[in-house]
A and B are shown apart, each in its own frame.
Chain A
């Protein structure tokens, strides 16, 4: 039987079971229920259409960021190709939907699986490479996939892209932003649930062992190569799944969005959010999407209010601020927003002796 517990002031855990629990206290469960209520009952009805669009984008990117965090934050394998993997998911879903007539519910997981296979192919260099060599290999993967998107015209439509018709689940059309909001955030919650629990299993612990010390992990009997590949596959599955949702949400995909910049944005999300933290990836995607929306609003405002010339000259400063945010976070808070959140929480918990 659960007894109602308060947060302890230190680490008083007595068993491994307590160590891997998701909720330390019943308050955690309560907060989660409140959060879910807010997410599904309150927010979609008080948000304007524009806010819904921003929230949906955040949700889609958050799913991909969680996947990337499983790879970089938990397994310690750097991938600069996740923008392209996201694109593979989007293209697979679009092609399956338009050519093979797959329904939405089938096309999205199928896109995830295809992307997982592609991710495993680009994870193959992990057999021999690590650290910066792997990073460069995945960078090459990004460029090769971008080339495929543009050049394999028979399948991807080349630079013109593919138009995806409106999807429906059980006869309900998904054209409405509010309906799609539910689709995205149900997927989002399920994906978080899978990721959080994956980390607690032997697979997740093996990933963390590989990240912390790969030789020791091999010494303890973890077959490193297959686990690295598995991590690539899971991570690309997340990216492809999110990409498929993106394709259905945008209803038209071209090769442009899936460039190196997107990969960098994904990594920026998990670095700013916090490496090796699932809530961190969510915070990070909220931060990055929010930041770019705010910055583009400021430039638009300046274009409308001031003279247009000023708005155009100021536009590159968006990039500057984006870069500055990444640099400042890495220098001053390398553990990211998740660490900020933890500090705030422990300040409350340890009050009035919070030092």
Chain B
């Protein structure tokens, strides 16, 4: 029973990590319907930016965090302007391969600068956040992750629901030509959504970095784990991403705990195939799949 509970807690925390890291992906897909294969690299860039500022330049944590946010916002803007904008209206395969190419480029640069080692942040989270419940422990980083995840969900839920930019984004995602004809500045929406997504990615990257240490390979492989999470939750649903992340996290830890550790790595993809066959729009996605 205790084993079960520990697995449950581990799964939930892993799931929240997946959920938090999937948010930026959903942001980009929701407004520009681009499948971003460079997602893991965006996470890593944010994490490393924070690493350089906090551990190497020894800035105060708040300042380092703020500069990282501004920097990644600008990065998202530049990436969209330089690479994605020339491809508006091009075929899907080209957009996908462009993000794959970007992923390879970013990874190469980061490996060049930081190498393949694991780096650590200076400790700054208060220890008082950690919870203990019987024999089961929840470290403070996970509590922080949980809080951040919920905060993200609320902020972006409100942003998409009420702010004018959020409504523009939803309209562009829904029907691009119609949004254009109603005077929505579609290109600006794309640029803004990439910028916000890069910012969200940087936040998730920092959270992941606090828990596991900052490593290029690890963070970029999380970019591929995001696919089962978002498909399960529905590609365009932020709440779905959270729940999808939790389900995948639980599934992974329980498979690892009860069946076999090697199956753990593929079980998300097996679920992914089943979900795609049965319910391609995910648990909470918009039902508009075509069957031709």
Chain B residue with Cβ nearest A331? B86
**In the complex, which residues of chain A have a beta carbon less than 8 angstroms from the beta carbon of B123?**
none
A320–B92 touching, CB < 8 Å: no
A141–B101 touching, CB < 8 Å: no
How far apart are the CA atoms of A322 and B101 in the complex, in Å? 8
Option from B35, B83, B93 in Cβ contact (under 8 Å) with A327: B83
A-B contacts counted at CB < 8 A amount to 138
Chain B residue with Cβ nearest A314? B112
Indicate whether B132 reaches chain A with its CB closer than 8 angstroms.
no
Chain B residue with Cβ nearest A272? B97
Chain A residue with Cβ nearest B100? A264
Option from A130, A313, A326 in Cβ contact (under 8 Å) with B97: A326
Within 8 A of B (CB), among A138-190: 139-141, 143-144, 147, 150-151
Within 8 A of B (CB), among A309-338: 313-314, 316-327, 330-331, 334
B272–A323 touching, CB < 8 Å: no
Option from A125, A129, A136, A317 in Cβ contact (under 8 Å) with B108: A317
User: What per-residue 1/0 map shows which CB atoms of B83-111 lie under 8 Å from chain A?
Assistant: 10011001111101110111111111111
A135-B96, A320-B109 as given contacts; A144 in contact with B266, CB under 8 Å: yes
A131–B92 touching, CB < 8 Å: yes
Option from B102, B262, B266, B272 in Cβ contact (under 8 Å) with A136: B272
Indicate whether B50 reaches chain A with its CB closer than 8 angstroms.
no
A125-B273, A132-B35 as given contacts; A323 in contact with B112, CB under 8 Å: no
B104–A136 touching, CB < 8 Å: no
How far apart are the CA atoms of A136 and B8 in the complex, in Å? 28
User: What per-residue 1/0 map shows which CB atoms of B110-124 lie under 8 Å from chain A?
Assistant: 111001000000000
B97–A320 touching, CB < 8 Å: no
A316–B98 touching, CB < 8 Å: no
Chain B residue with Cβ nearest A80? B96
Option from A133, A313, A317 in Cβ contact (under 8 Å) with B280: A133
A140-B270, A264-B100, A275-B93 as given contacts; A135 in contact with B108, CB under 8 Å: no
User: What per-residue 1/0 map shows which CB atoms of B264-292 lie under 8 Å from chain A?
Assistant: 01100110110011001000000001111
A319–B101 touching, CB < 8 Å: no
Chain A residue with Cβ nearest B272? A140
A319-B107, A323-B105, A327-B102 as given contacts; A271 in contact with B272, CB under 8 Å: no
**In the complex, which residues of chain A have a beta carbon less than 8 angstroms from the beta carbon of B86?**
331
A144–B273 touching, CB < 8 Å: yes
A133-B276, A140-B269 as given contacts; A327 in contact with B292, CB under 8 Å: no
Interface residues on B, range: 35 or more
Interface residues on A, range: 35 or more
Indicate whether A200 reaches chain B with its CB closer than 8 angstroms.
no
A267–B93 touching, CB < 8 Å: yes
How far apart are the CA atoms of A164 and B115 in the complex, in Å? 36
Indicate whether B43 reaches chain A with its CB closer than 8 angstroms.
no
**Interface core residue of B106, B276, B289 (most chain A CB under 10 Å):** B276
**In the complex, which residues of chain A have a beta carbon less than 8 angstroms from the beta carbon of B103?**
323
Indicate whether A215 reaches chain B with its CB closer than 8 angstroms.
yes
How far apart are the CA atoms of A144 and B265 in the complex, in Å? 9
How far apart are the CA atoms of A264 and B280 in the complex, in Å? 24
Task: Quote the shortest CB–CB distance from B183 to chain A (angstroms).
Answer: 28
A130–B292 touching, CB < 8 Å: yes
B105–A271 touching, CB < 8 Å: no
B111–A319 touching, CB < 8 Å: yes
B272–A327 touching, CB < 8 Å: no
Indicate whether B208 reaches chain A with its CB closer than 8 angstroms.
no
**In the complex, which residues of chain B have a beta carbon less than 8 angstroms from the beta carbon of A131?**
92
Option from B94, B104, B224, B269 in Cβ contact (under 8 Å) with A320: B104
A323–B104 touching, CB < 8 Å: yes
**Interface core residue of B92, B101, B272 (most chain A CB under 10 Å):** B101
19 residue pairs from A and B, CB less than 8 Å apart: A78-B93, A125-B277, A128-B289, A132-B35, A132-B96, A136-B276, A137-B272, A140-B276, A147-B266, A316-B108, A316-B112, A319-B107, A320-B108, A320-B109, A322-B104, A323-B106, A324-B105, A325-B101, A327-B101
Q: Could you list 12 further interchain pairs (A-B, Cβ under 8 angstroms) beyond the known A144-B269, A218-B292, A313-B112?
A: A132-B92, A133-B276, A139-B269, A267-B93, A268-B100, A275-B93, A316-B108, A316-B109, A316-B112, A320-B104, A320-B112, A334-B94
Interface residues of A (CB under 8 A from B): 72, 78, 124-125, 128-133, 135-137, 139-141, 143-144, 147, 150-151, 214-215, 218, 224, 260, 264, 267-268, 271, 275, 313-314, 316-327, 330-331, 334
- List 7 tightest A-B contacts by C-beta distance, closest first: A320-B108, A323-B104, A326-B101, A316-B111, A323-B105, A319-B108, A140-B269
